[in-house]
Structure 1
Amino acid sequence: MNEILIEGKRLRLRRANVTDLNYIMTLQFTPENLKFIVPFNREYHHAIIASDGSEKLDVIVEEIDTGLAAGYFMLRKMDSPCVEFTHVIIGRKGLGYGREALNLLLKWAFEIKDFHRVWIDCKDYNKIALHLYESLGFVREGFLREYLLTNGVYENLIVLGMLDREYFSTD
């Protein structure tokens, strides 16, 4: 059975299961997504899915009307008051699903799970994602210079965060 975390008008977020592994791996290694993330192997995701979800969680973004997967998120540090959103990947681009899914994830994190802070990092050249995160209320908290080595090139990361009081002040 698929554990539903939260539903919106068009999308639902649900806990990933083993039948989602191929989808997750395909999304990670699609060239337009891969340049913005550090992928994890199938075994890593399988371990997350098989776990109780108290530390890490793979989440599938799913269309309510069709039941089709539209993206996936990975959450880490679920056992602390400050959860990390990572691998924010939308497979069905150009439909506003990124904004809608992140709004649902923020609602789930703050209103249902009662996290104090959520944070995300983003490569500094991922302008579309940075614009989306900041438009949702994420605040730039830091800049990690030459933090990741990708294909022989060091890349910068921008760390963004949102506190519970910031989330609730936007209602």
Structure 2
Amino acid sequence: MTAAPMTDRTPAPAPARVRLRPTMRSDLDFVLSLENDGDNLPFITPWERTQHEAAIRFPDFRHFIIEGGSDFAAVGFLILVGCRSQHRSLELKRMVVQPKRQGCGRAALRLAKKIAFDDLGAHRLWLDVKSRNRGAKALYEGEGFAEEGVLREAVKVAGGFDSLIVLSMLRPEFEARRAAALELPA
């Protein structure tokens, strides 16, 4: 049996229960282990510890640990960039979740959208995803992000180059999804 594709009119399955908390320096071994995990490496470009340390301190960034499950154990992390941008255009720089396909990524993405639009006053939330990362692209599109374009062969990967697909969501789109009960309430 094949699942029907999700559209903006099809409610996504209920996401897992998660929460976000600010990343602390003591979390960085966990963050680096996720980035360097063999399941994640094909889809991200890992940072050095010093880059994560700077992101924790720099006010233009929000670096979060994703906690989930019945005991709210650490299951991932996400980073928002541009939090002080005069253009109110924030980037979801990175989101890594383990284990996969448990609903934690979807739930964390919904929290990130709520933080971006409600708390940080974003007009636009954007991201890029490697073209090989079909699962993540499907998640973002299912959560209302629209494809803006492709940066062809923009990143070097094992065996050659990969393209980056740029996706975004605008505040009116977020508000329309919230009115349709597809987003977390205000």
TM above 0.5, yes or no, is: yes
- Aligned match for 2:19, one of 6, 12, 18: 12
**Which residue of structure 2 aligns with residue 28 of structure 1?**
35
Cα pair 2:150 2:164 within 8 Å, conserved: yes
**Which residue of structure 1 aligns with residue 3 of structure 2?**
none
**TM norm structure 2:** 0.82
- Aligned match for 1:48, one of 51, 55, 70: 55
- Aligned match for 2:71, one of 58, 66, 75: 66
**1:70 aligned partner, one-letter code:** V
| Cα drift, residue 75 of structure 1 | 1.4
What is the alpha-carbon distance in structure 1 between the residues aligned to residue 16 and residue 39 of structure 2? Answer: 27
Unaligned runs of 5+ in 2: 1-14, 179-186
**1:35 aligned partner, one-letter code:** P
Cα pair 2:59 2:84 within 8 Å, conserved: yes
**Which residue of structure 2 aligns with residue 159 of structure 1?**
166
Which protein has greater RCO, CA pairs closer than 8 Å, 6+ apart? 2
**Which residue of structure 2 aligns with residue 130 of structure 1?**
137
Deviation per residue, 1:34-53 (Å, 9 max, x gap)? 1100110011111222x1x4
Give 1 or 2: higher strand fraction. Answer: 1
What is the alpha-carbon distance in structure 2 between the residues aligned to residue 9 and residue 96 of structure 1? Answer: 5
What is the alpha-carbon distance in structure 1 between the residues aligned to residue 132 and residue 47 of structure 2? Answer: 21
- Give the 5 Å matches for 1:85-124: 85-124=92-131
What is the alpha-carbon distance in structure 2 between the residues aligned to residue 77 and residue 108 of structure 1? Answer: 13
**TM norm structure 1:** 0.89
What is the alpha-carbon distance in structure 2 between the residues aligned to residue 76 and residue 141 of structure 1? Answer: 19
Cα pair 2:83 2:90 within 8 Å, conserved: yes
- Aligned match for 1:75, one of 73, 80, 85: 80
Cα pair 1:12 1:64 within 8 Å, conserved: no
Tell me the number of residue pairs that the alignment of Structure 1 and Structure 2 aligns.
162
Unaligned runs of 5+ in 1: 1-7
What is the alpha-carbon distance in structure 2 between the residues aligned to residue 71 and residue 120 of structure 1? Answer: 17
> Which secondary structure state, in structure 2, belongs to the residue aligned with residue 46 of structure 1?
helix
Select between 25-34 and 85-94 the one with higher mean Cα deviation.
85-94
Task: Give runs of ≥4 in structure 1 deviating > 3 Å.
Answer: none
What is the alpha-carbon distance in structure 1 between the residues aligned to residue 19 and residue 69 of structure 2? Answer: 6
Cα pair 2:97 2:104 within 8 Å, conserved: yes
| Cα RMSD, aligned residues only | 1.6
